[in-house]
Amino acid sequence: MAFRTGCISKTCFSHRIDNGTIYQKREPGGEWYAFRNAEVHQDDEASKLVSTDLVPVNSMPSKPRLVRHSNPNSKKGRGP
């Protein structure tokens, strides 16, 4: 998500994979660029990702959560 002072906006991306390289573009109307190369490069966009939640709790009235739903096609009735 992208955040602006005073308002919240979402940024959406499309992804494509070609020969092990992941390409990304901002929607709508962005330009395609290499997000993660098949052979890791230090300047890959993916190297900027962090594994922590950087969104302050008070910045969103009701911060969305990921919820795992059961998979009706699963033999055990659990999610994927």
| Domain-located, residue 27 | yes
- Say if 36 falls within a structural domain: yes
Q: 11-34 pLDDT, tens per residue?
A: 888 999 999 999 999 998 899 999
Domain-located, residue 6: yes
64 is a domain residue: no
At 30-72, the pLDDT tens digits run: 999 999 999 888 888 888 888 887 777 666 666 566 666 666 6
Q: Which residue has the tokens 């594994």?
A: 51
Number of domains in the chain: 1
pLDDT at residue 28 in the model: 86
* Residue of 38, 47, 31 whose CA lies nearest to 17: 38
C-alpha distances out from residue 70 to 7, 60, 77, 80, Å: 34, 27, 6, 8
Residue for token digits 């959560």? 65
Contact indicator for 11, 25 with CB cutoff of 8 Å: no
Q: Look up residue 25 and give its two tokens.
A: 């573009």
- Is 76 domain-assigned? no
Domain that holds residue 6: 2-59
